[in-house]
Amino acid sequence: MEILASHYGAIMFLVLAFGLFMAWGIGANDVANAMGTSVGAGALTLKQAIIVAAIFEFLGAFLAGGEVTSTIRKGIIDPALFEAIPEQFVFGMLSALLAAATWLLIASHRGWPVSTTHSIVGAIVGFSVVAVSVDAVNWGTVGEISASWVVSPVLAGSIAWCLYKSVEALVLNKDDATAAAAKWVPLYMWMVGFMISMVTLLKGLKHVGLDIDLGTGSGFVDAAVLSAIIGLLVAAAGGAWVRRRLSQDSGMGIETIFGMLMIFTACGMAFAHGSNDVANAVGPVAAVVQTVQDSGSIAAKSGMPWWVLLVGAVGIVVGLATYGWRVIGTIGKRITELTPSRGFAAELGAAGTVVIASGTGLPISTTHTLVGAVLGVGLARGTGVVDFNTVKQIVSSWLVTLPIAAVLAIAYFYTLKAVFI
């Protein structure tokens, strides 16, 4: 503990620097991935996507301000193992932050959308193995998280495929597409209202202590009932608006309508991402701060300081604005060509997968989910419109994320020990 006390200033500086670097990586990769469909489909410009992310990611992160977050991401290791060696825990979490951020930088430079969760999990596994032992890692949990490599893209791709096929059959391929849109778009608006409400309630607002109790005995069912009602309101209001606009401007394109739906979906997903994934990703920062300030005491859960959320919120916006265009290009252009209707199906398919996972406990990655959804929309139009070389590169980057993050964390862990011990 004397080591932490004697180097308090230096450690807190590194926490701030590494946390900001990690948040920048989240913005450049994770948030860019979430905004890629909207930009690629032309529903939002890059500047507009940055503004949407800045507002809704920031709001989402700060609504999670009262959250008590898990000190060890996803229960990968038992913090009790580090009670006798708190300095190892602090240097380990610092190395995990730097390792995950480094991999996100490399992946973003290459335009690869990778999982922030897998990056930080791999890094924590790496330092834990050398700091304690192989037995310190909950390999069953690691296996469940790794399973999302398959579960996320397959499920999201299947949902997006079905959604786009329905859009084609009910609207796009009709002789009178305008009349078909007036008839069927309210259904898709209900889906948007329902899905985004579910994602917000289950992934976004769960951190603020919002307790919805409709007497069903299940929080998921309560959220579903409330979301269905919200969806009906959205469908009624949106349907009336669409019919009025179509009657006033018969030349308004069908893709314009789906582009508007995409914007609402993007806002909802950004809010949920900011309140859930961003808070979790900067969890190691909160863990180090609490351990240093509590004289080496390591807790399984810790409060999230407001300035940590501020670092996360600012970092992701800067990351998206300065480097996010690379991943956006991959998601929005390189996998398959997107239009608003195709992007809408992909975004709603990803949101639907998040909802299903929340209700069933399926391990998913939001990054893998959206990539799978875009691929599913492409396959709905035929294999000839999908760039499988790009898909191969993306999948390869997923497979190496855990081991590369682990190796980087080990190298940084030994470096920090050499400097401070």
What's the pLDDT at 249?
A: 65
pLDDT category at 339 given cuts 50, 70, 90 is very high
Calculate what percentage of the chain has a pLDDT beyond 90.
36
Strands 301-303, 68-70: pairing is antiparallel
The pLDDT tens digits for 266-292 are 887 787 777 666 665 677 777 777 777
Q: How far is CA 218 from the centre of its chain?
A: 25
CB-CB contact of 40 with 333 (8 Å): yes
Q: Residues 14, 15, 16, 18: what is their CA dihedral angle, to the nearest 10 degrees?
A: 80
pLDDT category at 66 given cuts 50, 70, 90 is very low
Instruction: Report whether pLDDT(294) > 70.
Output: no
CA distance 311 to 10: 18
What's the pLDDT at 300?
A: 52
CA distance 119 to 104: 8
> Minimal CA–CA distance to 99: which of 123, 69, 78, 118?
123
The pLDDT tens digits for 241-273 are 888 877 776 556 788 888 888 888 888 778 777
Q: Residues 24, 157, 343, 170: what is their CA dihedral angle, to the nearest 10 degrees?
A: -160
Instruction: Report whether pLDDT(30) > 70.
Output: yes
What's the pLDDT at 71?
A: 43
CA distance 111 to 28: 10
Give me the DSSP letters along 391-407: HHHHHHHHHHHHHHHHH
- Strand positions, DSSP E, 107-211: none
Q: Which helix (H) or strand (E) holds 164?
A: helix 148-167
Mean pLDDT, all residues of the chain = 84
Calculate what percentage of the chain has a pLDDT beyond 70.
86
DSSP annotation of 303 reads: E
pLDDT category at 231 given cuts 50, 70, 90 is very high
Total length of the chain? 421
What's the pLDDT at 359?
A: 74
CB-CB contact of 26 with 325 (8 Å): no
Instruction: Report whether pLDDT(207) > 50.
Output: yes
Give me the DSSP letters along 347-416: HHHHHHHHHHHHHH-----HHHHHHHHHHHHHHHT-GGGS-HHHHHHHHHHHHHHHHHHHHHHHHHHHHH
> What is the mean predicted confidence (pLDDT) over 59-65?
65
Task: Return the percent helix, strand and coil in the chain, to nearest 5.
Answer: 80, 0, 15
The pLDDT tens digits for 113-170 are 998 888 988 999 999 999 888 888 888 888 887 877 788 899 999 999 999 999 999 9
What's the pLDDT at 164?
A: 96
> Minimal CA–CA distance to 34: which of 271, 375, 381, 364?
271
What's the pLDDT at 64?
A: 53
What's the pLDDT at 267?
A: 83
Instruction: Report whether pLDDT(295) > 70.
Output: no
Higher pLDDT, 208 or 105: 105
Instruction: Report whether pLDDT(371) > 60.
Output: yes
